Copies of this chain bind each other. A is one copy, B any other.
Amino acid sequence: MEEKFKILFLPDDKEFEVTAGISVLQAAGMAGVELDGPCGGNGTCGKCRVRVMKEQGGAQWALACKTIIDRDMTVEIPQLEVSVHRKNELTLADLNVQIDSGISAKVVTVSKPSLENQHPDAKRFLIAMDNDTLELGTEVLRALPKTVRDKEAKGMVTAILCGNKVLAVEAGDTSQRLYGIAVDIGTTSVVVALMDLRSGETVAIASAGNPQTTFGADVIARIEHVMNNEDGLEVLNRRVIKTINRLTEKLAQDIGITPMEIYQMTMVGNTTMSHLFMKIDPTYLAVSPFIPVVSERVWFEARELNIEIAPQAPVYVTPSVAGYVGGDTIGVIMSTDIYQKKGIYLAIDIGTNGELVLSRDGEMASCSTAAGPAFEGAQIKFGMRAADGAIEKVTILENGEVEIGVIGNQPPKGICGSGLMDVVSEMARAGVIDSTGRLCTAENPGDLPPALQKRLGSNEEYGPYFILSFAEDNMGEEVVLTQKDVRELQLAKAALAAGIQVLLQHFNLSAQDLDEVLLAGAFGSYINKYSALGIGLLPAIDANKINSVGNAAGTGARMELISQEIRQEAEKVARRVEHLELSTRADFQEYFINCLSF
């Protein structure tokens, strides 16, 4: 018989019995405990760090994927970091949208029943509403008897309406409390914006990592998880829904409302994220011919998706263009206004995939490239999110000295996407890598200054590498960039640059014709555009034409939330964008090879 051990996960207090020999990360997966492991248990990403309790008291940090269960254990999972920003901390520009969310409140007084007025509650309510064609859903009928009999409200009832449907009824006048959430599900993080549906203001925003990451860093890994596990779709769906609920609850708490006062939700995300959100099998997105199940906009009720807001609140899933050009791209198009502006615009949303849209006077084409998670610091030896301790800026001085900027001014622990692009750009400029991307080695340092030569190293684990930060210099850990890291970035930037070329070619344009390049996504906000130009990620154009537009996909979701018109436009736009499938194009292959060099 196989040996069994008990493992207790904190702070969930979940106990699970496992067969000896599996890792803590695997056990967490089986127990349904959320734990990040984007590298797939290779011990390379360091994101599955947990605290293993010692028998004699105290605890010790360890990688869950490398900790094999050989006894009864208690393991503490560091909690999902949720960051919340209130309105006064947000620097969001007001949305330039006519407010018309489709949700409204009406306050009426429902008559008291008596032996002379034996009308049912529903009937007396409809009489008060002066409209007996209104639809009352399950939840409204269930809430009605208590609501109309509330002692303090004395028959006063607030009805929340969406078209001809009553979404909710509340005792008293609560018409001042009318909220919605706009949700942006990224492959690596989830952002929820709480909005006042009356004023259109964004009241607060909360974000956290996407806990699906445990099952792989990119969309392909997630889809593979669904293909290979009977409960894969269920688990991935549950995780993201749980995160949305947790963020929403946090936001509601923060401003003193209940999640039940949230009556509408809009959602943007890439096609895989949308499918997983809807619990729809994304399998066929991953295999040629890359077919989504649905790309038209979909309306759900919140309860169908287990979203814990008003149960009958409509949930709007933004339409998408094609397999890899999803609702997030539609969000970018809507918020940048390029679908109706005169001029030639290139919008780039860089995440784990790179989605590109080129618009010429509102005529649009799109494509998607497997930019890869390199841009987000994943699959990079010392890659990490843009958090405290991440190297985000790198300059190599004339004399070979390396200056680094670290988030939070702390000892460096790793490197994030923008730092990565900086360092590769600087290494190319300084000759630490040649135009083919090959790293100089200590044995073959070319004519590098000594200050750079001493940073070259090689060992069995890393292969050839470049030391970004010496442990002794910065009171931190040694942080290096390996040859393999450079290759990851090189492949990603070549794919993106080739995609841009295909789009330009499609319109018979050259890079110089572009009026503006819009960089969307969190990464777009942090990127040093000179580095991006330096490594050839962006075509050689005037740097002044390159602008970051922040979380444009999320902004699109916020606009959709407060405007029926924007939603209707988004549906038209989704049908209008021409999609170029790169995987079958010979010209893409050609451009890709040409774009590989630095």
Residues of A within 8 A of B (CB): 113-115, 117-123, 136, 138, 141-142, 144-146, 149, 278-281, 283-284, 288-296, 298, 300, 304-305, 322-323, 579, 581, 583-584
* Interface contact B138-A281, CB-CB below 8 Å: no
Chain B proximity of A259: nearest CB distance (Å): 20
Complex interface: chain B residues within 8 A of A113 (CB): 284, 289, 291
Q: B123 near A281 (CB under 8 angstroms)? A: no
> Is B289 a contact partner of A121 (Cβ separation < 8 A)?
no
Copies of the polypeptide in the assembly: 2
Considering only CB atoms, which chain B residue lies closest to A291 in the complex? B113
Q: Are B138 and A295 in contact (CB under 8 A)?
A: no
* A145 CB contacts on chain B under 8 angstroms: 280-281, 283-284, 293
Q: Are B278 and A138 in contact (CB under 8 A)?
A: yes
Interfacial chain B residues near A300, Cβ < 8 Å: 138
A294 in contact with B138 (CB, 8 Å): no
Nearest B residue to A139, CB-CB: B304
For A141, list chain B residues within 8 Å (CB).
278, 280, 293-294, 298
A293 touches B144 (CB 8 A): yes
Closest to A146 in B: B281
Question: B294 and A115: CB pair below 8 A?
Answer: no
Are A294 and B118 closer than 8 Å at their CB atoms? Answer: no
Q: A281 is contacted by which of B142, B290, B322 (Cβ under 8 Å)?
A: B142
In the complex, the answer to whether B279 meets A120 with C-beta atoms within 8 Å is: no
**Contact between B288 and A120, CB atoms less than 8 A apart:** no
With A145-B284, A584-B115: A121-B291 Cβ-Cβ less than 8 Å: yes
For A280, list chain B residues within 8 Å (CB).
141-142, 144-145
Question: Measured between C-beta atoms, what is the minimum distance from A329 to chain B in Å?
Answer: 15
* B291 engages A120 (CB within 8 Å): yes
A sample of 26 inter-chain contacts (CB < 8 A) reads A113-B289, A114-B289, A115-B288, A115-B581, A117-B289, A118-B289, A118-B579, A119-B291, A120-B291, A120-B296, A121-B294, A122-B293, A122-B296, A138-B300, A138-B305, A141-B280, A141-B293, A141-B298, A142-B279, A142-B280, A142-B281, A144-B294, A145-B280, A145-B283, A145-B284, A149-B284
| Complex interface: chain B residues within 8 A of A279 (CB) | 138, 142
**Are A120 and B289 CB-contacts (below 8 A) given A278-B141, A281-B145, A298-B141?**
no
* Chain B residues positioned under 8 Å from A298 (CB to CB): 141
What residues of chain B lie closer than 8 Å to A281, measured between beta carbons? Answer: 142, 145-146
Which chain B residue lies CB-closest to A284?
A: B145
Looking at A136, A142, A300, the one whose CB has the most chain B CB atoms below 10 A away is A142
Contacts of A136 in B (CB 8 A): 294
Chain B contacts for A144, CB-based, 8 A = 280, 293-294
Residues of B within 8 A of A119 (CB): 291
Q: Which 7 A-B pairs have the closest CB atoms?
A: A122-B294, A113-B291, A120-B292, A115-B289, A120-B295, A121-B293, A145-B281
Contacts of A146 in B (CB 8 A): 281
Contacts of A120 in B (CB 8 A): 291-296
Residue of A136, A289, A291 most packed against chain B (CB within 10 A): A291
Contact in complex: A138, B291 (CB < 8 Å): no
Q: Hey, which chain B residues are within 8 Å of A579, CB to CB?
A: 118
A310: min CB distance to chain B, Å:
15
Nearest residue, chain B, Cβ from A298: B141
Q: Point out the residues of chain B lying under 8 angstroms from A278, CB to CB.
A: 138, 141-142
Chain B residues, Cβ within 8 Å of A581 = 115, 118
- Give Cα A497–Cα B123 distance, bound, in whole angstroms: 32
A16 vs B91: C-alpha distance when bound (angstroms): 56
Apart from A118-B290, A138-B279, A145-B281, what 20 extra A-B contacts exist at CB < 8 Å? A113-B284, A115-B583, A117-B289, A118-B291, A118-B322, A118-B579, A120-B292, A121-B292, A121-B293, A122-B294, A123-B294, A138-B300, A138-B304, A141-B278, A141-B280, A141-B294, A142-B279, A144-B280, A144-B293, A146-B281
Please give me the residue from chain B that is nearest to A115 by CB atom: B289
Nearest-Cβ distance from residue A460 to partner chain B, whole angstroms: 43
Closest to A283 in B: B145
